[in-house]
Amino acid sequence: MDKIKLNVLGLSSGQTSGSYTLILGEAKGNKRLPIVIGSFEAQAIAIEIEKIVPFRPMTHDLFLSFFKEFGIELVEVQIYNLHEGVFHAKLICEHLGILKEIEARTSDSIALAVRFKCPIYTFEDIIEEAGIIVDAAEEENIFDDDIVEQKINVKTGGSNNDLGKLPLENLNQLLNEALAVEDYALAAKIRDEIDLRKK
């Protein structure tokens, strides 16, 4: 069965507290694969996508260092099975010219894939069963930032748009606070606002 290459499109808040939905999309096509993951894994993926440097290395950063130190290459990630609503993935690794397959949670696999910048694949039957078709008009609304917006409301006393009203000094302080508590989703929002001011 043919492999289908996937790209990481982003994260949205999940239906339950502490959960997020990872959105993967076909590299060539309009189907999206939503995968529910935990907050820790969501942060691990988000900080790499957003190029945020955490104060302390995360577990997936440790794996990256370990693999590099011992000459192990992560060749690709495969989401190879879907059973009772749970996606199953494996890491395809190479060491001394020998390929090995390692079973891993899908969320951990993606967190490693974005660090190694290796391809992510699934198979046609999985995309057919769990994929959703998104047209251009729906694409803009596929991500829901309610949780991030609520956190900004608490910290600023207003809405997400109120970040634009804060002085740069306050934004930098807010960014440092978010990083200190390892709230990388909020940090990414604040950093985007700071970057807008520099343009």
User: Is the same domain home to 126 and 151?
Assistant: no
For residues 157 and 133, membership in a common domain is answered with no
Both 42 and 24 in a single domain?
Answer: yes
Q: Which two tokens stand for residue 43?
A: 């942060």
Tell me the CATH number at 102: 3.10.690.10
126 and 154 share one domain: no
If asked whether residues 111 and 152 sit together in one domain, one would say: no
Q: How far apart are CA 127 and CA 32, in angstroms?
A: 8
Q: How many domains does the chain fold into?
A: 2
Do 160 and 133 lie in one domain? The reply is no
pLDDT, position 144:
43
Domain that holds residue 164: 146-198
| Pair 40, 54: CB distance under 8 Å | no
Cβ atoms of residues 145 and 24 within 8 Å: no
pLDDT of the residue at 54: 74
pLDDT per position in the chain (199 positions), as tens? Answer: 689 999 998 887 755 566 788 889 999 888 888 888 888 888 888 888 888 777 777 889 899 999 999 999 999 999 999 988 889 999 999 999 999 999 999 999 999 999 999 999 999 999 988 888 766 555 555 544 443 344 444 444 444 556 777 777 777 777 777 776 667 777 787 888 888 877 6
Rounded to whole angstroms, the Cα distance separating 50 from 193 reads: 13
Residues 150 and 58 occupy one common structural domain: no
